Amino acid sequence: MKKVGSFFWGIILGTMAGLIMGMILTPRKEEKIKNILEKKTEELRDNLQEIGKKIGKKVHKIKSNFDAKWKKNKIEKIDQVEDELGT
């Protein structure tokens, strides 16, 4: 009877000790994972910002080229109309 009682007390105390140790060690693992995820998120954010800047530069270049062509075409048409009217 004494052996059976000691066995059950051992299981109960061992389970409690295991749960307590698990709770103590778990936040450290979560912090490591959280730090890794934060670093990866920052890298991703930086890469997306760089890509956005590159796209913005290309769009600005296309827009300025389009504006230049538009103004040139507009001036040519105005000159053509003036030549036809003789003014």
The tokens describing 63, both together, are 């827009």
Q: Which residues of 5-40 are buried (b: 16+ CB within 10 A; e: fewer)?
A: eeeeeeeeeeeeeeeeeeeeeeeeeeeeeeeeeeee
pTM: 0.47
Residue type, 78: I
User: For 8-48, what is each residue's pLDDT tens digit?
Assistant: 888 889 999 988 888 787 766 677 878 888 899 999 999 99
Which band of pLDDT confidence, cut at 50, 70 and 90, is reported for residue 78? confident
